[in-house]
Amino acid sequence: MKKLSTLFLLVLISFSAKGQTVEELNAEQAPKKAKVAELQGEIAALQAKINALPGWRKGAFGTVGANLSGFNNWYSRAAPNSSAGNIGVTVNGFANLIEDKFFWRNAASINLGWVKLDDAAKSGDEDFETATDVFTISSLYGRRLNKKWAVSTFGEYRTTLIDNFNDPGFLDVGVGLTWTPTERLVVVIHPGNYNFIFSKGESVFSSSLGAKIVADYTAIYDKLNVKSNLSVFQSYKEGDLSNWTWTNSFGYTLWKGIGIGFELGLRDNKQEALNDALISDTNAIIATVNNEIQSYWLFGVSYAF
């Protein structure tokens, strides 16, 4: 009994010593953590000063998503011998010249996707088909009235790259005001804007005069890259000629620029809906066409340049 008591006492002493050691280490670690936090604050303050200096700001990040699979004599499937694949690539980049009296902001985004389902028992479906095809480029020049407002001119062009390049192609050109409440947020308000639409042959698309509103938020938070862009055109001629597109991109760096990324795009365009409806119904008219919200998304590996 005496031996058990002694052993129990030694165990208590051991745990007590270990606890005191951990407490001592935590006490030693605390001021070092405080010092690191202080240095990080100083670094952030210096970076803010660097960002406020005149000159070019450039950056880009993108996401790659892929899913490939194959089946051989997998009899539980309707197509026991087949292969499938889904590949998507998105890239967002910007180059902005910021000066005391003016700014020139340029941005481009690309989202391409391919999909394949190859049934060995059938012929003609071996190749990848285009699933997503989006290309947008824009340029904004502004002459400052003060720190937050500027008289500006803006151009934005969007189309597809793989299929039917510039058929249709949408070009907005206009003038108005730009509001820059922060370095990260830019809001374009252009009541004088013309929406040019390019297409080949007989076309259902119609160009028109209207107002253009664009809100763009681009930021880098340590390891997180964020870009959200809402582009709206409101036609003065007819509401059915209006359209909007909203894209959101996120990239989180895990190691040496490599991480995970996600992109979501939404669009409303009744002229595109009519053009699609005419494929199956040649008598379709824009007033009665079923105009559903268009969308795409991509999740995969990202890389920050």
User: What's the pLDDT tens digit per position in 206-220?
Assistant: 999 999 999 999 988
For 111-120, the pLDDT digits (tens) are 998 988 777 7
Spatial contact of 251 and 221, defined as CB atoms under 8 Å apart: no
| pLDDT band at residue 77 using 50, 70 and 90 as cut-offs | low
For 30-65, the pLDDT digits (tens) are 787 888 877 777 776 776 667 667 789 888 888 888
For 137-147, the pLDDT digits (tens) are 999 999 999 99
121-130, 176-185, 254-263, 279-288: which has the minimum mean pLDDT? 121-130
How far is residue 55 CA from its own chain's centroid?
25
Classify burial at 212, counting beta carbons within 10 Å of its beta carbon; exposed 0-12, middle 13-18, buried 19 or more. buried
pLDDT at 305: 66
User: CA-to-CA distance for 171 and 156, rounded, in angstroms?
Assistant: 6
What pTM was estimated for this model as a whole?
0.78
Instruction: Provide the token pair at 269.
Output: 């365009």
Mean pLDDT across the chain: 86
Looking at this protein, which amino acid is placed at residue 245? Answer: T
- pLDDT of 3 > 70? The answer is no
Residues 6+ apart with CB under 8 A from 252: 223, 224, 225, 259, 260, 261, 302
Spatial contact of 240 and 218, defined as CB atoms under 8 Å apart: no
Spatial contact of 142 and 131, defined as CB atoms under 8 Å apart: no
Residue indicated by tokens 């006490």: 27
User: CA-to-CA distance for 242 and 206, rounded, in angstroms?
Assistant: 10
What's the average model confidence in pLDDT over 148-172? 94
| pLDDT band at residue 6 using 50, 70 and 90 as cut-offs | low
- pLDDT of 154 > 90? The answer is yes
In the DSSP assignment, the letter for residue 21 is H
What's the average model confidence in pLDDT over 185-206? 93
Domain boundaries, the chain: 1-53, 56-304
pLDDT at 193: 98
pLDDT at 75: 67
Q: What is the CATH topology of the domain spanning 56-304?
A: Porin (2.40.160)
Calculate the alpha carbon distances from 78 to 72, 163, 266 in Å: 12, 31, 33
